Structure 1
Amino acid sequence: MNQGALFPFGVDEALFDDARLVAARVSAMRRAQGQAVPSDFAEGTPEADAIALDFLRDIERALDHTSKSLTGGH
């Protein structure tokens, strides 16, 4: 992957790795539940867009759950 083209202002490697890990975990959970992931559809199709939005919501829930567990639910 050419990160210079994707991230012209640089990238925090640890943050990038964490983001990939969260996405991989959400993908695995969705697959285990029989749900689709964005890569199951051709990019730019209505189906891919709908699944991508649902996938993003799952990532948001995963991050929210993680942040609450780190702060003890506060």
Structure 2
Amino acid sequence: MDQGELFPFGVDAVLLADARLVAARVSAMRRAQGQAVPSDFAEGSPEADAVALDFLRDIERALDNTSKSLTEGH
């Protein structure tokens, strides 16, 4: 699959870099806590799907905490 198929409306390089940074930070935090990341399992396996959902929740928490810290005091 080429980039055009993944991103049919183009790619915002800064946004993509930010997303990769958040994912890398969440992966590092999960590994430090002894938790798995989706790539530890075969793609599409029940284990990968369950871990991916937990991973997504961790990303949501990270983004929520970041947005709260940016808006505090305003």
Q: Specify if TM > 0.5.
A: yes
Give runs of ≥4 in structure 1 deviating > 4 Å: none
Q: Deviations over 1:7-42 (max 9, x none)?
A: 111011100000000000000000000000000000
2:60 matched to which residue of 1?
Answer: 60
1:49 matched to which residue of 2?
Answer: 49
Distance in 1 (alpha carbons) for counterparts of 2:59 and 2:8? 25
Letter in 2 for 1:58: D
Structure 2 runs not aligned, ≥5 long:
none
Structure 1 residue 50: deviation in Å?
A: 0.2
2:39 matched to which residue of 1?
Answer: 39
Give the aligned CA root-mean-square deviation in angstroms. 1.6
Structure 1 runs not aligned, ≥5 long:
none
State percent identity of aligned pairs: 86
The aligned length equals 74
